[in-house]
Structure 1
């Protein structure tokens, strides 16, 4: 009899704990869901020429979970690149770190490269800022010359993805209909975590880079060859005269 009573109390206690934990998890997931709904992302491009700054602004919900983590995912087209050495230097003086999905060759022209993905990890330091700005410097690659008279080429940047997560929300099914994606947990890339992606409808940002005029290739090469020949002839005459005077 005592055994049955003890067994019944143990079952009730276990059920109560599970119910209480489920309620806490659902509550924390509710805060995360609210952050996914009310958090917004915008991007703008500063500076001119081949060296630009991509400024991402995140406006957080003030009622999000206290341990909220954020991840900004940039998918760069092949026409631009980021300098990993510059990013490493900047990370020492900023509150964010960048993880690149592949190695970068800084000298390759645009038509011989592929795009890359940059994972930007802002440091929230256990608090949720109302407004977060992350500035990533990007650089334009040299493009093939144009043969149709165009002097500029357009670089289109897709809006960055904002991923959010919290360690207190483990039942991600509570976040439906938001999309759950796998991404690195930290900039060290030591493990993969599940993140919830916010839904936003911001359009593309774009800027233009100058390109060479392909119609000038033959005239420029011909003029360069002619000038080179003239200089070689003049130099040869000077050397020949110097040898005559020496003898």
Structure 2
């Protein structure tokens, strides 16, 4: 009797929980329809980080909302705040830097991570698609022992939406703590929401050229010789072509 009761109870719980499980899996599959692609353009120290977001089914709830990507840049790269301010004046990009004071001259081993909230623009060629570009710059790294490149890993960003006039699906969008205004809608902070997404690539890798430790002596000697040579040429040119009027002192 006890065994049969437990079996019937287990079957009842299974029948009751199966629809809820299927519903949860369906919601999760629908909410993961967001796709994020990031790509590094150009070569060397000065690059452009191109971000593309395709909301898909989740985008049906984001009409009239501001979409942004929140990404954390490691200490190996930075964003020039003066360059960013110039781009924002030209309406070429819009972003919020945290912190907003950045030492652009600091090397990688003395810098800290940077949090960037990058506002995205709708892509007219794709419904529910958004894109934005952000100029990033590689920092100088310590000389390496056996490699001429340092690898800086840029992880996939978080997709955010700020809807000051409409709501979002509670199944797909969750409240996020972001201290930043909705672009073009209000000057104060408003409620942002985040959603799960499927990155096309888990991370992008920036290759930054670095020097080799065994070349340190050679670099120092060549730098000293070039400095002395250039200084001598400047001094010789100044003495040959310069005009130095005599200054007399009168009582």
Superposition TM-score, scaled by structure 2 size:
0.65
1:29-178 superposed matches below 5 A: 36-61=31-56, 63-94=60-91, 96-102=93-99, 103-122=101-120, 129-146=127-144, 148-166=145-163, 167-169=165-167, 175-176=170-171
Contact 1:35-1:60 within 8 A present in 2 as well: no
Task: Determine the C-alpha separation between the residues in 1 that align with 2:105 and 2:227.
Answer: 27
* Structure 2 match to 1:206: 205
1:13-40 alpha-carbon deviations (Å, 9 max, x no partner)? xxxxxxxxxxxxxxxxxxxx99854332
Contact 1:95-1:122 within 8 A present in 2 as well: no
* Residues 88 and 108 (structure 1), Cα distance of their counterparts in 2 relative to 1, 3 Å cut: same
- Unaligned runs of 5+ residues in structure 2 are 1-27, 232-251
- Unaligned runs of 5+ residues in structure 1 are 1-32, 233-247
Contact 2:121-2:130 within 8 A present in 1 as well: no
* Residues 195 and 213 (structure 1), Cα distance of their counterparts in 2 relative to 1, 3 Å cut: same
The number of residues matched between the two structures is: 194
* Structure 2 match to 1:243: none
Contact 1:53-1:135 within 8 A present in 2 as well: yes
* Structure 2 match to 1:186: 182
